Structure 1
Amino acid sequence: MTMLRAERVTLGYGRTPVVHEVTLDITEGGVGLIGESGSGKTTLARAFLGLLTPLSGNIWYGDQTLKKVDMRKFRKDVQPVFQAEALDPRMRIGTSVAEALPRGARGRVKDLLEQVGLDPDLATRRPHQLSGGQRQRVVIARALAVDPRLLILDEPTSALDVTVQARILDLLASLDTERLLITHNLAVVGRLCRTAHVLFAGRVVESGPTTDLLAKPAHPYTRALRDAVPKLGGAPPEAKGRTEAVPARTGCPFRLRCPLAAPECERPPVLRDLGGRRVACHRAEDVLLS
């Protein structure tokens, strides 16, 4: 079942587009948006939350666009989970979590803190008195206060050490709530998301089942992201291609960094079906064979 859908969405700040005609569905089983900084992940997430109006195209929630949907119901159904720094430093933890609750339900704060594995006594403290992992759990508890159908998580573990990351991932995996995960961490997507979309320079370059994308990428950029992940006990990964090159303005945006770039890459690739996934690369078959 599709919960949210972007249909040929172009997004920008002012008149400058930064996301270009993206079409993708947020479906059951968890969906990941993968890409390096500046790829357009957070911008697209803001559009899904109704915080950014598309320059063209539409965001659909059910059979209505966000322009027509009842936003009070939408805000209850779809909740963001930002990084822990989103907490107001002046507010006590209990007050912060209770903000989203009706007055008669303020007693749920204790239950929500326990649900995310926190001692209810922390409700009297302020954010600076908690660790990074504890603050991130508070952000999740606050989002869960309205019993959402979908959580939109923007890099929820990026500022945490690996042991705290593991606890947060265990928590998210245990929740009976769908999720859209924005991250550059492929391991996190593999843990929490059934499907994934890879963004480069504001364009979807590969989409499909997460296990397929991680095991056998069909786009050179997806493969570069996967190969950049350090392996325990192995040699540090080597950067391949011109990692500092900016996206090309014509043809394939990735061609100036691509180790497989060929003359045909001077033509813009289209997102096409290939073996149960979609990929925007003229040489995708060669990538799968290499």
Structure 2
Amino acid sequence: MTLLRAERVTLAYGKRAVVHEVSLDITEGGVGLIGESGSGKTTLARAFLGLLTPISGNIWYGDQTLKKADMRTFRKDVQPVFQAEALDPRMRIGASIAEALPRSARSRVQDLLEQVGLDPELATRRPHQLSGGQRQRVVIARALAVGPRLLILDEPTSALDVTVQARILDLLSALDTERLLITHNLAVVRRLCRTSHVLFAGRVVESGPTDDLLENPAHPYTRALRDAVPTLGGPPPEAKGRTEAVPAPSGCPFRLRCPLAAPECEQPPPLRELAGRQVACHRAEDVLA
């Protein structure tokens, strides 16, 4: 079932377009948006939350665009989970969670803290009195307060140490709530997302089942992201291509960095079906070989 859908969405800051005609569905089983910083992941997530209006295309919520949807219902169904720094430092933890609840339901604060594995007594503390992992759990508890169908998570573990990350991932895996995960951490997206979309320079370059996409990428950018992850006891990753090159202004945006770039890459590659996924690359068959 599709919860949210982007249909040929273009997004801009001022006059500069940063996401270009992206179409994708947020479906059950967890969806990942993968890419390096500046690839357009967070900008697209902000559009899914109704915080940015596309300059062209539409965001669909059910059978209605966000422009026509009942926003009270939408805000209940779709909740963001930002990083722990999003908490108001002046508010006590209990008050921060209760802010999303009607007065008649504010007794649920303790239950929500327990649901995310925190001692209810922490409700009286302020954010600076909690660890990073505890604060991140509070952010999740606050999002769960309204009973959402979908959580949109923007790098929920990036500022946490490895052991705390593992506890947060266990928590998110156990929740009976769908999720859209924005991350550059491939291990996290593999753990939480059934399908994934890889963005480069504001364009989807590869989409498909997460395990297939990461085990055997069909786009050289996806392969570069995967190969950049160090392995325990293995050699350091080797960068291939010009990793410092900016996106190309025409043709394939990745061609100035691509080790397989060829003359045909001066033409924009269409997003096409290949090996059970979609990929925008003229040389995809060579990448898979």
TM-score (norm 1): 0.99
Matched residues in 1 for 2:236 and 2:110: separation? 45
In the TM superposition, what are the counterparts of 1:52-131 in structure 2 within 5 Å?
A: 52-131=52-131
Matched residues in 2 for 1:92 and 1:240: separation? 49
Matched residues in 2 for 1:236 and 1:145: separation? 43
Deviations 1:97-139 (A, max 9, x none): 1000110111100000000000111111110111110000000
Deviations 1:22-64 (A, max 9, x none): 0000000000000000000000000000000000000000000
Q: Could you tell me how far 1:239 is from its partner in structure 2?
A: 1.4
Tell me the amino acid that sits aligned with residue 191 of structure 1. R
Give 1:132's aligned residue. Answer: 132
Tell me the amino acid that sits aligned with residue 62 of structure 2. G
Tell me the amino acid that sits aligned with residue 134 of structure 1. Q
Give 2:20's aligned residue. Answer: 20
Matched residues in 2 for 1:176 and 1:112: separation? 14
Matched residues in 1 for 2:255 and 2:16: separation? 22
Give 1:177's aligned residue. Answer: 177
Deviations 1:50-92 (A, max 9, x none): 0000000000000000000000010000000000000000000
Give 2:267's aligned residue. Answer: 267
1:252 is the counterpart of 2:252: yes
Tell me the amino acid that sits aligned with residue 20 of structure 2. H
Task: State the superposition RMSD in angstroms.
Answer: 0.5
Secondary structure of 2:217 counterpart: coil
Give 1:205's aligned residue. Answer: 205
Unmatched runs of 5 consecutive residues or more in structure 2: none
Give 1:196's aligned residue. Answer: 196
Secondary structure of 2:199 counterpart: strand
Tell me the amino acid that sits aligned with residue 9 of structure 2. V
Tell me the amino acid that sits aligned with residue 111 of structure 1. D
Matched residues in 2 for 1:281 and 1:97: separation? 46
Matched residues in 1 for 2:235 and 2:286: separation? 26
Secondary structure of 2:268 counterpart: coil
Matched residues in 2 for 1:95 and 1:236: separation? 47
Unmatched runs of 5 consecutive residues or more in structure 1: none
Q: Could you tell me how far 1:273 is from its partner in structure 2?
A: 0.4
Matched residues in 1 for 2:12 and 2:120: separation? 42
Matched residues in 2 for 1:40 and 1:116: separation? 30
Secondary structure of 2:5 counterpart: strand
Give 1:2's aligned residue. Answer: 2
Matched residues in 2 for 1:275 and 1:258: separation? 21
Matched residues in 1 for 2:151 and 2:247: separation? 31
Secondary structure of 1:107 counterpart: helix
Tell me the amino acid that sits aligned with residue 199 of structure 1. L
Give 1:48's aligned residue. Answer: 48
Secondary structure of 1:181 counterpart: strand
Tell me the amino acid that sits aligned with residue 163 of structure 1. T
Give 1:235's aligned residue. Answer: 235
Percent identity between the two aligned chains: 89
Deviations 1:225-251 (A, max 9, x none): 000111011122111111110000011
Give 2:145's aligned residue. Answer: 145
Tell me the amino acid that sits aligned with residue 117 of structure 1. G
Deviations 1:1-22 (A, max 9, x none): 0000000000011121000000
Secondary structure of 1:278 counterpart: strand
TM-score (norm 2): 0.99
Q: Could you tell me how far 1:202 is from its partner in structure 2?
A: 0.0
Secondary structure of 2:160 counterpart: coil
Secondary structure of 1:169 counterpart: helix
